């Protein structure tokens, strides 16, 4: 069982626990993107097994009619083994999800994987229009060009600041530069699309920016935040009629994810310490 401190960030170890979490969030009009924890498999059995679990998860979401989607990581379904393993497993998942009308997201990993991930996204979106979404990272200098390329592709784009520590030759390193680029990328999407826009951020300034652009351009959009981070804001945005999706990881490999969340921000670390001390 997941200990009480970690269960702020992780929705449980099993599909059943993940669906219970989804049901509870749906009561506050927050929709849920479920991610089975796992990444960087170097053997095909593990990659295929996770792809199969995603297909089961999709069946369960469809059967319960919950407002839920899934999000996969390329290296979880075979990218470290070969581009074609990732592409094959992704298509198996997406084809099944399209049949069941469940939306599939793909996370973006380090910059060496950007080309293949975007190629696979483009091909899946052309085959299964508006059934897939792709994360894209504003800290990468290439992203403005990638957005130009993707703007007419029939898939949703989740724009995030970027979580990977990339080399300064290809990435903005300075926080204010990343923020500036993030604002620009959000503006670009609202100026060029009327649907398929997702803002993956906890940053109140960026959320306000997106909301005012949505008022100006009338485009459909959604806000996405992580489980355990600004959950009050998630509920309050949803109560104001904004489409909010919470990204909720689940699964047995929860420890390293939890550790990453605690290390990345002071607030999360303080929360963990208080929980251990019982106050």
Which positions are annotated as active-site residues? 107, 158
Q: Three-state SS for 124?
A: helix
Q: Is 265 in the site for ligand FAD (CB under 6 A)?
A: yes
Q: Is 257 in the site for ligand FAD (CB under 6 A)?
A: no
Helices 83-100 and 114-127 pack at an angle, to 10 degrees, of 30
Q: Return all residues near 39 (Cβ < 8 A) that are at least 6 apart.
A: 73, 75, 76, 109
Please check whether residue 221 is in contact with residue 247, taking contact to mean a CB–CB distance below 8 angstroms.
no
CA distances from 82 to 8, 75, 113, 143, 211 (A): 34, 9, 11, 24, 40
Which range, of 8-16, 19-27, 96-104, 262-270, touches ligand FAD by CB under 6 A? 262-270
Q: Is 226 in the site for ligand FAD (CB under 6 A)?
A: yes
Q: How far is the CB of 75 from ligand FAD (least distance, A)?
A: 12
Cβ atoms within 10 Å of 173's Cβ, excluding its own: 11
Which range, of 52-60, 142-150, 224-232, 252-260, touches ligand FAD by CB under 6 A? 224-232
Q: Is 196 in the site for ligand FAD (CB under 6 A)?
A: no
Q: How far is the CB of 50 from ligand FAD (least distance, A)?
A: 16
Q: Is 52 in the site for ligand FAD (CB under 6 A)?
A: no
Q: Which two tokens stand for residue 226?
A: 């992580």
Contact residue for ligand FAD among 75, 89, 114, 137 (CB under 6 A) = 137
Residue ranges binding ligand FAD (CB under 6 A): 107-108, 135, 137, 160-164, 200-204, 224-226, 229-230, 247, 265, 267-268
């Amino acid at each position: 069982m997941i200990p009480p401190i970690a269960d702020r960030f992780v929705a449980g170890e099993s599909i059943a626990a993940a669906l219970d979490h989804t049901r509870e969030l749906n009561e506050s009009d927050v929709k849920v993107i479920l991610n089975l924890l796992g990444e960087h498999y170097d053997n095909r059995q593990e990659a295929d097994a996770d792809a199969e679990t995603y297909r089961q998860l999709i069946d369960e979401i469809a059967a319960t009619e919950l407002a839920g989607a899934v999000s996969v990581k390329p290296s979880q379904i075979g990218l470290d083994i070969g581009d074609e393993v990732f592409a094959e497993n992704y298509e198996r998942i997406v084809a099944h999800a399209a049949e069941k009308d469940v939306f599939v997201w793909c996370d973006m990993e380090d910059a060496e994987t950007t080309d293949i991930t975007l190629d696979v996204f483009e091909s899946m979106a052309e085959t299964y229009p508006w059934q897939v979404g792709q994360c894209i990272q504003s800290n990468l200098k290439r992203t403005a060009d990638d957005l130009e390329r993707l703007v007419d592709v029939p898939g949703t784009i989740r724009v995030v600041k970027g979580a990977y520590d990339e080399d300064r030759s290809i990435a903005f390193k300075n926080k204010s530069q990343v923020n500036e680029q993030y604002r620009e990328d959000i503006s670009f999407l609202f100026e060029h699309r009327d649907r398929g826009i997702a803002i993956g951020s906890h940053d109140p300034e960026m959320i306000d920016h997106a909301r005012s652009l949505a008022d100006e351009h009338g485009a459909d959009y959604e806000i996405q935040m992580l489980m355990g981070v600004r959950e009050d804001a998630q509920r309050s945005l949803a109560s104001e009629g904004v489409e909010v999706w919470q990204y909720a990881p689940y699964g047995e490999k929860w420890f390293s994810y939890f550790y990453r969340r605690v290390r990345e921000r002071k607030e999360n670390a303080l929360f963990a310490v208080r929980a251990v001390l019982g106050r």
